[in-house]
Amino acid sequence: MMHTAVGWHVELEFMEDDQHTRAVAMVRLPDGTEVRADGHASRHHTDANQPRVGEEIAGARALNELAMQMLTKAHGEIDDASGRTSHPIHV
């Protein structure tokens, strides 16, 4: 049995100000498709200014949304190939 090594690189970019952090996650698949997702975090005015925490929250939300989009994409490809509606894919 032969194994093929495949790698995906996920990029995360952050835009932030004193109160808000926005993350954009993007993965480019071997077929050239790019999937992008956003995540946001807001700092309550009484919380300490900790940019890393905002990045972690916004980044996690962007990655979660990216994962959901990838599952939806895979589900559609299964259905297209089989000609029927497949069972839901669970996380």
Residue 46, domain CATH = 3.30.160.240
CA–CA separation, 21 and 28 (whole Å):
23
Could you read off the pLDDT of 54-88 as tens digits, one per residue?
A: 999 999 999 999 999 999 988 888 888 877 777 76
Q: What is the pLDDT of residue 77?
A: 87
- CB-CB contact of 62 with 22 (8 Å): no
Cα 62 from Cα 71, distance rounded (Å)? 14
Q: Is the residue at 4 inside a domain?
A: no
Give the pLDDT confidence score for residue 81 in this predicted structure: 82
Domain count, the chain: 1
Whole-number pLDDT of residue 25: 98
By residue range, what is the domain housing residue 50? Answer: 11-80
Per-residue pLDDT, 91: 66
The predicted pLDDT at position 19 comes to 92
56 domain residue, yes or no: yes
Whether 86 maps to a domain, the answer reads no
Q: What's the predicted TM-score (pTM) here?
A: 0.82
